Amino acid sequence: MTICRTIEELRTVARGWRQEGLTVGFVPTMGYLHEGHLSLVDLAARNASRVVLSIYVNPTQFGANEDLSRYPRDFPRDEGLCRRRGVQALFTPDSAAMYAPDHSTWVTEEALTGTLCGRSRPEHFRGVTTVVTKLLNIVQPEIAVFGRKDAQQALVIQRLVRDLDLPVRIIVGPIVRDPDGLALSSRNLYLSADERTRALSISQALREAEDRYARGERDALALRRWVQDRVQAAGGRIDYVDCVCRSTLQPLDRIQGPALLAVAAFFGRTRLIDNAYLG
Amino acid sequence: MTICRTIEELRTVARGWRQEGLTVGFVPTMGYLHEGHLSLVDLAARNASRVVLSIYVNPTQFGANEDLSRYPRDFPRDEGLCRRRGVQALFTPDSAAMYAPDHSTWVTEEALTGTLCGRSRPEHFRGVTTVVTKLLNIVQPEIAVFGRKDAQQALVIQRLVRDLDLPVRIIVGPIVRDPDGLALSSRNLYLSADERTRALSISQALREAEDRYARGERDALALRRWVQDRVQAAGGRIDYVDCVCRSTLQPLDRIQGPALLAVAAFFGRTRLIDNAYLG
């Protein structure tokens, strides 16, 4: 595994592979890796001959009052995990290389980023779309893999790739959960034992909503209320519980096609997200 | 010369070249080609082994009251000019292919686009940066060539390429003029014989300002006034005459480093731009 700390190092490695006719799969992350990320590495490896994983805690996608400074970091651990999982290049640029002091160009998506996480994190997706565009231009992969836990992000990235004609295929990997149902997230580290137990209400409520949908419930408001009540009963502070069309992210009254039931809630200071596909 | 009417056709041609190890130079245009464009083709050919020229009148860079519908088009003539000048691929996508009905992703540059042409054409540069990003992602050239007549555009594109890490080198070609000094532009076609004669005041005034600069004038306002008075005396309606720093486009009082003296003025309904480098 090659560790590339600069854009030029990574470009050189990737260029060498391209000249050999090898394809590149790319997994962008913010590090503090867990099995969710590593499942995306497996997906990349099944779809390309070389895997690049980036670790970059992108400052422009954090709001002023968010957890940029305390976002968990453990590079030696991440490096070992990547090695064992068969990553061929680990890309770890620093912010000086990623953003010039007079950086002034932004990529924005305007139709899908006003709802869900975009409502409570107004600058977030501009940071995501900008850094993902940059990373894709640096790595120039044939495929890039994103996780479905960030369902809105995955949809926004697919739109970005289509609208800007980025020469890459996006693959979205399934949510990976702990055995008790909690969706894996680097931010789970922040949870106390008690908060973690109470946070299980999110995945439990989503599973119950899926059951109700399977038994014929099509009233989006009823499903939202169900989830909201369950999470609040466990002491969660709701950011949103929304039931939206899976391709436009527009809110639904009745579920008639593919829908996304998405939750963001705080347990203590920790904001967790999770979601279920309905239909 | 191959004519590619779809994105997929162009990608296939360019991919073939890349697999042969050939480099690609790219000249994006809105067609109605003149010697200014063709000089950029020559520059591309000197810096790459294959030249792609695109003709696409990009609707998103025209304002509501601008000349999108009457922008001049003459494909057979353009095709002949490209063939004779040694273009290997002519890319002529249509708007249905370039913008999906639910297109929602934009590239914006925020530091360099508020002045000069950006002031009177507020949406213009968002359209330019978005379509250039798209075209660069489609063609994936090693180099791309822009003309210095659109000095602000060239600077914005260089910033875009740096900020988004686009894997391309930008080359800026000099302004090409008619023997009497008028900067070549597809829009010169709109000018009546009388307007054309009066429009010569722009390049004449810029040349005189260059002379005054060469003789020691460093007062930006004096140079601006000189140009403004000359163009107005010829019946031109000034959009702007500005003297700005050549790297930041910020207005100058005194010229101490590389400066750009830039003009936009209407003769009749036709808006013309021109500029001079000072220092």
pLDDT tens for each residue of B158-182: 999 999 999 999 999 999 999 999 9
Q: Which of B276, B264, B248 is nearest to B112 (CA)?
A: B248
Same domain, A202 and A164: no
Are both A105 and A53 inside the same structural domain? yes
Give residues with Cβ within 8 angstroms of B127, minimum separation 6.
Answer: B58, B59, B60, B61, B62
- Segments of chain B with pLDDT less than 70: none
DSSP result, B123-157 = THHHHHHHHHHHHHHHH--SEEEEEGGGHHHHHHH
Q: Cβ of A105 and B159 within 8 Å?
A: yes
CA-based nearest residue to B106, from A251, A151, A112: A112
Q: Where are the alpha helices (DSSP H) in A95-150?
A: 95-98, 117-120, 124-139
Calculate how close chain A gets to B193, using CA atoms only, in Å.
Answer: 41
CATH number at residue B262: 3.30.1300.10
Which residues span the domain enclosing A50?
2-173
- What tokens were used for B91? 């890319």
pLDDT at position B251 is 97
- Residues A167, A196 within the same domain: no
Specify if B181 maps to a domain: no
Q: Name, in order, each residue with C-beta under 8 angstroms of A186's C-beta and a sequence gap of 6 or more.
A: A30, A31, A32, A33, A34, A71, A72
Q: Which residues of B touch A137 (CB under 8 A)?
A: 164-167
Last residue of a domain, one of A173, A203, A234: A173
Residue A214 has pLDDT above 90, yes or no: yes
Share of chain A above pLDDT 90, in %: 98
Catalytic residues of B: 37
Residues of A with CB under 8 A from a CB of B: 7, 11, 100, 102-112, 129-130, 133-134, 137-138, 140, 159-160, 162-167
pLDDT, residue B128, reads 98
| Distance from C-alpha of B37 to C-alpha of B247, rounded to nearest angstrom | 24
Mutate to test the interface with B, among A24, A129, A165 (most CBs of B within 10 A): A165
**A111 vs B130: CB contact, 8 Å cut-off?**
no
* Domain end residue (candidates: B150, B173, B196): B173
Residue B179 belongs to a domain: no
Q: State the pTM of this model.
A: 0.97
- How remote is the C-alpha of B87 from its chain's centroid? 19
Q: Do A52 and A130 belong together in one domain?
A: yes
- β-pair partners for A54: A28, A91
Same domain, A201 and A120: no
Residue B25: both structure tokens together: 């130079």
ipTM: 0.96
CATH of the domain at A96: 3.40.50.620
Per-residue confidence (pLDDT) for residue A118, from 0 to 100: 95
Smallest Cα distance from B2 to chain A, Å: 21
Is residue A206 domain-shared with residue A167, that is, in the same domain?
A: no
A105 strand-pairing partners: B109
pLDDT of B122: 86
Asked, for residue B279, whether it belongs to a domain, the answer is no
A144 token code pair:
């890039």
Interface test with B, best of A133, A138, A164, A169 (most B CBs within 10 A): A164
Closest CB from B102, B111, B165 relative to A7? B165
Burial of residue A66 (CB within 10 Å: 0-12, 13-18, 19+) is middle
pLDDT at position A122, please?
86
| Number of residues in chain B | 279
- Of the candidates B107, B138, B163, which has its C-beta nearest A103's C-beta? B163
| Sign, CA torsion B273/B274/B277/B278 | negative
The predicted model gives A215-243 an average pLDDT of 98
CB contact under 8 A, B137 and A112: no
Please tell me whether residues B240 and B136 are part of one structural domain: no
Side-chain half-sphere CA neighbours of A142 within 13 A:
17
Domain count, chain B: 2
Both A129 and A18 in a single domain?
A: yes
- In a domain, residue A181? The reply is no
Write down the residue that tokens 């055995």 correspond to.
A179
- Does A222 lie in the same domain as A97? no
Among A173, A207, A227, the domain boundary falls at A173
pLDDT tens for A16-47 read 999 899 999 999 999 999 999 999 999 999 99
User: pLDDT tens, A111-164?
Assistant: 999 999 999 998 999 999 999 999 999 999 999 999 999 999 999 999 999 999
CB contact under 8 A, A104 and B163: yes
Residues in chain A, total: 279
Are A9 and A102 in the same domain? Answer: yes
Is residue A178 one of the residues assigned to a domain?
A: no
Residue B160: its chain A contacts at CB < 8 A? 105
Write out the H or E segment, with its range, that includes residue A211: helix A193-214
Residues A224 and A267 in one domain: yes
Q: Kindly report the backbone phi and psi dihedral angles of residue B249, in degrees, each rounded to the nearest multiple of 5, phi listed first.
A: 65, 20
Which residues of B fall below an 8 Å CB-CB distance to A? 7, 11, 100, 102-112, 129-130, 133-134, 137-138, 140, 159-160, 162-167
In this structure, what token pair is assigned to residue B154?
A: 């060239």
| Tens-digit pLDDT profile for residues A152-191 | 999 999 999 999 999 999 999 999 999 999 999 999 999 9
| B61 plus B118 within the same structural domain | yes
In this structure, is the dihedral angle defined by the CA atoms of residues B222, B225, B229 and B235, taken in order, positive or negative?
Answer: positive
